[in-house]
Structure 1
Amino acid sequence: MADPRQVYSGKRRVTPSEAFVETLVAQGVTDVFGIVGSAYMDAHDLFPLAGIRFISTAHEQNAAHMADGYARATGRHGVCIAQNGPGVTNFVTAIAAAYWAHSPVVAITPESGSLTAGLGGFQETEQLPLFSKITKWQTHVNSPSRIAELTGRAFHYARHERGPTQVNIPRDYFYGEIETEIPRPFPVRRGAGDAEAIRQAAQLLAEAKSPVIVAGGGVGMAGGVQALTALAEQLTAPVVNSYLHNDSFPASHELAAGPLGYQGSKAAMNLIARADVVLAIGTRLGPFGTLPQYGLDYWPANARIIQVDADLRVIGLVRPVALGIHGDAKAAAEAILAELRARQGERARDEARLDIIRGVKGAWERELASLAGANEAGRVDPRRALAELAKARPRNAMVATDIGNVCSVSNSYLQFDEPNSFFAAMSFGNCGYAFPTAIGAKVGRPDRPSIAYVGDGAWGMSLAEVLTCVRENIPVVAVVFDNGQWGAEKRNQIDYFDSRFLGTDLQNPNFADVARAMGANGLTVEHEDQVGSALREAIDSQRPTVINLRLTQALGDPFRRDAFKPPHRLLDKYAAYSARG
């Protein structure tokens, strides 16, 4: 029997479907997420013969989120595919999330037939404009003979430009016969950046009294954690994670200070506030990750910023920089370290600075513990629950978090030693992100536990994928924070609208019961001492499991106080309504 992963070389006469599938195989694709559709069924029929697993999902948005999680967990391409028209439009939200997560997702979007384009036929819409602002590159296959060439190029750009790409294929172009060659992937190595800029960066850091490093997602993407660790040790510089990239530096390292941004680490904020030089590496310094938090406007106004990024366009975009380096995070860290050692030799630890770092971190640990609230009958305080989950989580576990108040508060409790472990909804911030992303991560890394933190509102958008996990035997654990509310928006109603609750209260079933009805495990947790044991039991079961974690309605600070103003009403009846409270 022929090896299904073998790729033919040289030009051959094949069908376009064969050329398309052979291109997937050449790119190393072993898993594709989506819902089967007639538009690409001829190619779909070949997937098993080519050694490609098709994971059939409950909704196309979740298929694209799964491709995102798969890409983030493995560093390889995540691939999603859907029926033309409504199936493809369902991709949009998830592809936008992948764009802001810099995930190499390839969205295959079969289109209505070429001979009826523009006639308003069944399931027809223009599919390229939908993704024009949320992809790194798009292509429309304009001839069956180019299906392999253009598909291969989409894979190449997704990987090297770190973001989603789209391959739009008229459904009739999968048929016929063509003569074509299957393109092979080829690596393009990034360097450290301009040599003079590297020397200047080393000089700025060597002269700094209080250097601080901001480690962004690009560090993990480049495989640069070890190189950055050596650089931090050379400088005895504390390392803070950029917002929602808590896995960009080992949390157990003595120089690790935790994440910046919303509900992040006050230790990280206090340390960067003292910096005279900031090395921001592999990060765009997004605005949401540098906003004031805990009443601290912590970003150092007078510090000199060195920004290193593989994307030229983000350098100096959000914060003015003293020095920009267009380069790979790993290569740049290695080059700066080599330059420093050439100047300084291998420097001894600065014990005085380490004492400062330990003191700031210890103070934050004590303060964080003091923020825990009181449990109620049958309900656990959210912070107490998050602390117990953190204790019970295996060191090698992957965690995906949704958007929402409790999930956001979890940013203070999520620490990782391995890169490619933490997958948050990032700056697109869409609900329903965590569970399908955790599923994709588990498919890509079946050797690691995969856990989703999901609010009860967002759970309503993704719980149907429990069926996918049961059918496909994907043992993901969903921890559902059941507090009967859309917490993030309720917090705004409390702070700005005199607790006039409209649309933010939820009436939930027991989601553990629902999970069992769907064929998964379901656990209900109502007491603090049950939290850790439930998570361990769920992971050990090696079955899809939903933990219905009943929480009190305690809420953390709102997302952005700067985004609201007190309501102002002009009409009498609305002014009276506002005054009534």
Structure 2
Amino acid sequence: MSGQPREKAVPTPTPAGKVRMTPSEALVETLAAHGVDKVFGIVGSAYMDALDIFPAAGIRFISVAHEQNAAHMADGYSRATNRHGVCIAQNGPGITNFVTGIAAAYWAHSPVVAITPETGSLGVGLGGFQEANQMPIFSTITQYQVHVNHPARIAELTNRAMTIAINERGPVQINIPRDYFYADIEAEIPPVQYLERGPGGAQSLDEAAQLLAQARYPVIMAGGGVIMSGGVEEARLLAEYLCAPVVTSYLHNDAFPASHELSTGPLGYQGSKAAMRLIAKADVVLALGSRLGPFGTLPQHGMDYWPKDARIIQVDANPRMLGLVKKIAVGICGDARQAAAELLARLKAQRGPAKRNEARIAEIRQAKEEWAKELAQWPSPSESGRIGPRQALAALAKALPQNAMVSTDIGNVCSVANSYLHFDQPQSFFAAMSFGNCGYAFPTIMGAKVARPDRPAIAYVGDGAWGMSLAEVMTCVREDIPAIAVVFNNMQWGAEKKNQIDYYGNRFVGTNLTNPNFAEVAKAMGAEGVRVDHVDQIGDALAAAVKSNRCTVLDVQLTRELGEPFRRDALKKPVRYLAKYKAYT
């Protein structure tokens, strides 16, 4: 992935030099110095002394229904702004509820800051109320952890964690014994200092430029690092110079403008056949700001499309990612935006002005047109009162406002949406990436909406996953967050049911659902709710929801049609040996 110049936040004035204060004041002043003005969580006695002064520091506390969703909201906020997203909760059970959300942030490379108050220092190990060993829980899903070992160090250690969150692009944990919020200390609020990113080493850039200059059919794979570095424009200029097709990495559909003539769509599960057919021809692949995650290049649509003999140039700000998943010819440890700019400068010096390849442009256009036609004709019949899922997804895509932000949950229909979601601006698409947890989409889009109130914010959620996050509708009403949930109601856990169909003889255990009217549930919580049971209603319902500027739940009634499973190699036809199970083959 890549580093990113953060969007500007207006920091509050901080005291100069060492000043007498409490640890709570030191914590809050350090947050404010880093531009934090929103914190997500549930109120708890463990940190109430700091909470009490949030308003005076200009920090809005957004109280949620469940702590997991506070972490997801912090993730969405962070991804929409490239700034810290901060969450906090009560020690013990409140903190353990963060785990799933922090893990999702880890795989999205989001600089989320989890502040985890802990059992008082004198009670550790005694099995007291709400005690848990909170550091090991997060040890593999954070970039950095720090335990505050003295009240006087709270500003120093908080600043260090927040700096690492931005520099290393990932969540951090600040663990604070609850009695350490109280003391008289002398503390200095450290100045904010972040690393300046560079384009990479001169030799690796030279080698990469030479490979691209000699390439017969170069293809650019734009990953999340392009978005995080603010490098979409630089990627566009480089692609135009090379006249190279651009594919986007899995679930980074907003890493390159979809309307551009060189854009071919996303790779990975339910991705674009046009992208897959074109990258299959590549002799050189420039993986720009991508870790080349294994799930994102698996065969799809019956196509094993990854070019086996292509030479790969990988650009990533984390040197550990270079060559980790796929064998590479050149590894560039650098910022995706700056690396793209430097490669373009070197290519111009070697080759002179760009030469437009009309034949390649025509080939790209034809591949996209063929895929669009195939997608439009994909059978997805409706039934009385229920809409074919692909018809619903196509209607939603057509109705999306141009500047919309969309999050998708994990699940069958939400994953099929990958074929239909196209964006022209970055920081528009939020998914749980390779962690793939249910209950992700709605709280994440809530956080994104808090960050960007000027943009429509829409979550795609399956009815199973909706059960994990629907309580946050109350949060939206209370906190005036006009997020929109599109609930795909097909009365089933679709992804797992598809496995039971394909591998387990249509024996449905735990996958059929009986749902209430989610629109009426939303109204009962004070939001808008609309039941949608015909494809012609979708566009108007979404437009009305956006125009209302209120939290709205669209309960979209779908047929039980299911797309292909995530991966064909994940399961096998069962073999049974015991007599009582012989029928279950």
Q: 1:4 to 1:323 in 2, by over 3 A?
A: closer
- Give the Cα separation in 2 of the matches to 1:400 and 1:7: 36
What is the Cα deviation at residue 176 of structure 1? 1.0
Picking from 110, 115, 120, the partner of 2:117 is: 110
List per-residue Cα deviations over 1:429-466 (Å, max 9, x = no partner): 00000000000000011111100000000000000000
The match for 1:554 is 561
Map 1:75-224 onto structure 2 (within 5 A).
75-224=82-231
What is the Cα deviation at residue 196 of structure 1? 1.2
Picking from 524, 533, 549, the partner of 1:526 is: 533
- Give the Cα separation in 2 of the matches to 1:576 and 1:526: 39
- Give the Cα separation in 2 of the matches to 1:312 and 1:141: 29
1:16 corresponds to 2:40? no
The match for 1:450 is 457
Contact persistence 2:77–2:450 (CA under 8 A):
yes
Number of equivalences: 576
Runs of 4+ in structure 1 displaced over 4 angstroms? none
Picking from 21, 29, 32, the partner of 1:25 is: 32
- Give the Cα separation in 1 of the matches to 2:190 and 2:45: 26
- Give the Cα separation in 2 of the matches to 1:194 and 1:314: 16
Picking from 244, 252, 263, the partner of 1:237 is: 244
Map 1:333-412 onto structure 2 (within 5 A).
333-412=340-419
More displaced 10-residue stretch of structure 1: 84-93 or 177-186: 177-186
- Give the Cα separation in 1 of the matches to 2:462 and 2:209: 45
- Give the Cα separation in 2 of the matches to 1:16 and 1:75: 28
- Give the Cα separation in 2 of the matches to 1:4 and 1:299: 46
Contact persistence 1:17–1:42 (CA under 8 A):
yes
| Equivalent position amino acid for 1:153 in 2 | R
What is the Cα deviation at residue 512 of structure 1? 0.3
What is the Cα deviation at residue 422 of structure 1? 0.3
What is the Cα deviation at residue 312 of structure 1? 0.6
* Structure 2: runs of 5+ lacking an equivalent: 1-9
| Equivalent position amino acid for 1:357 in 2 | I
What is the Cα deviation at residue 348 of structure 1? 2.5
- Give the Cα separation in 1 of the matches to 2:338 and 2:353: 19
What is the Cα deviation at residue 4 of structure 1? 9.6
What is the Cα deviation at residue 5 of structure 1? 2.6
Map 1:405-424 onto structure 2 (within 5 A).
405-424=412-431
1:537 corresponds to 2:558? no
1:73 corresponds to 2:111? no
| Equivalent position amino acid for 2:65 in 1 | A
1:309 corresponds to 2:316? yes
Residue 116 of structure 2 aligns to a residue in which SS?
A: strand
| Equivalent position amino acid for 2:571 in 1 | F
User: Please, what TM-score do these two structures have when normalized by structure 1?
Assistant: 0.98
- Give the Cα separation in 2 of the matches to 1:257 and 1:545: 33
Contact persistence 1:405–1:488 (CA under 8 A):
yes
Picking from 478, 502, 521, the partner of 1:495 is: 502
- Give the Cα separation in 2 of the matches to 1:166 and 1:383: 41
- Give the Cα separation in 2 of the matches to 1:335 and 1:577: 60
More displaced 10-residue stretch of structure 1: 569-578 or 69-78: 569-578
List per-residue Cα deviations over 1:83-116 (Å, max 9, x = no partner): 0000000000110000000000000000000011
* Structure 1: runs of 5+ lacking an equivalent: none
Residue 495 of structure 2 aligns to a residue in which SS?
A: helix
Contact persistence 1:4–1:49 (CA under 8 A):
no
Map 1:227-306 onto structure 2 (within 5 A).
227-306=234-313
Residue 114 of structure 1 aligns to a residue in which SS?
A: coil
- Give the Cα separation in 1 of the matches to 2:190 and 2:275: 46
What is the Cα deviation at residue 183 of structure 1? 1.3
Q: 1:363 to 1:4 in 2, by over 3 A?
A: closer
| Equivalent position amino acid for 1:317 in 2 | L
What is the Cα deviation at residue 187 of structure 1? 2.6
Contact persistence 1:384–1:528 (CA under 8 A):
yes
Contact persistence 1:208–1:276 (CA under 8 A):
yes
Contact persistence 1:4–1:50 (CA under 8 A):
no
What is the Cα deviation at residue 346 of structure 1? 2.0
| Equivalent position amino acid for 1:245 in 2 | H
User: Please, what TM-score do these two structures have when normalized by structure 2?
Assistant: 0.98
1:483 corresponds to 2:483? no
Contact persistence 1:4–1:51 (CA under 8 A):
no
Residue 261 of structure 2 aligns to a residue in which SS?
A: coil
The match for 2:6 is none
Q: Cα RMSD between the aligned structures? A: 0.9
